[in-house]
């Protein structure tokens, strides 16, 4: 993938998932969200730099020290070529290697987009699936419950992060016994729909729910005029990678994080 295309997707992902706090520093953006995710709690290059690299790293380390979270740097194909090696030399651990995957979308749902069957659960999914153009509190609560890793601070700040998304959204949920057991989020920006927050409760996995949610979001993208779709998946999550490949996504590029634990 060309650097110009990578830059577009990186910009889209910044729009799609705002952090609790952000500040700009010499072509870098410092993001802080009480360590909710690496992506919303890291340093990312977004432009050209003027200051010496050692000075910049030291500045960022001090900021995250004051925020009482690990210093994390996101490394993409657009990062300074020397940054990854310098962070490794300083003892930063490489974590969360992530594959960005993309696919083109047809011009209309009738051209070549037909959601694939998922066996005996199809009728259940169609009946109990909800698609909304906003993110309700109930969906966020269900996401916390499914993921099971939220702190008291996260419960307080993360809803405001979802509320701060500046783009049109398609929020999908699947219910069982009136409870949300699977989630998905599509974020429309420029000519793309980004696929986010695909989660299924443990006791409802392997029933085709993730596939059905992704297909629904892609169809929503087509109906909204999007020509392309992208998503981000941890590279060693083989079941998810295989699902996305079966949906027509292909690998575009990878990024990872360099993490320095707090002393």
Enter the pTM of the model.
Answer: 0.91
Give dist(CA 2, CA 101) in Å, integer. 14
Inter-residue contact 224 to 208 (CB < 8 Å): no
Render pLDDT for 68-99 as a digit per residue (tens, 0 to 9). Answer: 999 999 999 999 999 999 999 999 999 999 99
Look at 225 and 119; give whichever has higher pLDDT.
225
Pick the last residue of a domain from 50, 78, 99: 99
What is the pLDDT, as a whole number, of residue 109? 62
The reply to whether 18 falls in a domain is yes
Token digits for 107?
A: 């011009």
Does residue 237 carry a pLDDT above 60? Answer: yes
Q: What is the mean pLDDT of residues 195-214?
A: 93
Domain extent for 154 = 106-226
Give dist(CA 93, CA 70) in Å, integer. 11
Same domain (yes/no): 218, 127: yes
Q: What is the largest CA-CA distance in the chain?
A: 60
Does residue 253 carry a pLDDT above 60? Answer: yes
Give dist(CA 162, CA 219) in Å, integer. 22
Give dist(CA 72, CA 37) in Å, integer. 11
- In three-state secondary structure terms, 109 is coil
Same domain (yes/no): 95, 9: yes
Average pLDDT, the chain: 91
Same domain (yes/no): 91, 198: no
């Amino acid at each position: 993938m060309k650097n110009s295309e990578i830059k577009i997707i990186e910009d889209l992902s910044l729009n799609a998932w705002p952090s609790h706090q952000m500040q700009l520093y010499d072509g870098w953006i410092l993001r802080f969200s009480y360590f909710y995710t690496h992506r919303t709690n890291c340093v990312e290059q977004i432009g050209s730099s003027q200051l010496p690299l050692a000075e910049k790293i030291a500045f960022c380390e001090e900021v995250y020290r004051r925020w009482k979270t690990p210093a994390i740097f996101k490394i993409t194909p657009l990062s300074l070529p020397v940054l990854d090696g310098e962070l490794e030399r300083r003892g930063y651990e490489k974590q969360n290697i992530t594959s960005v995957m993309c696919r083109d979308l047809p011009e209309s749902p009738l051209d070549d987009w037909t959601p694939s069957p998922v066996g005996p659960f199809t009728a259940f999914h169609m009946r109990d699936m909800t698609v909304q153009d906003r993110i309700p509190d109930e969906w966020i609560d269900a996401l916390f419950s499914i993921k099971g890793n939220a702190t008291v601070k996260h419960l307080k700040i993360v809803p405001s992060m979802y509320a701060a998304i500046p783009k049109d959204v398609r929020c999908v949920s699947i219910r069982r016994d009136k409870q949300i057991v699977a989630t998905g989020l599509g974020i429309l920006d420029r000519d793309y729909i980004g696929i986010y927050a695909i989660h299924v409760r443990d006791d409802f996995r392997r029933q085709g729910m993730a596939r059905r949610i992704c297909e629904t979001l892609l169809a929503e993208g087509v109906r909204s005029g999007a020509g392309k779709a992208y998503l981000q998946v941890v590279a060693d999550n083989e079941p998810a990678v295989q699902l996305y490949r079966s949906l027509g996504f292909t690998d575009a590029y990878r990024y990872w994080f360099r993490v320095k634990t707090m002393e």
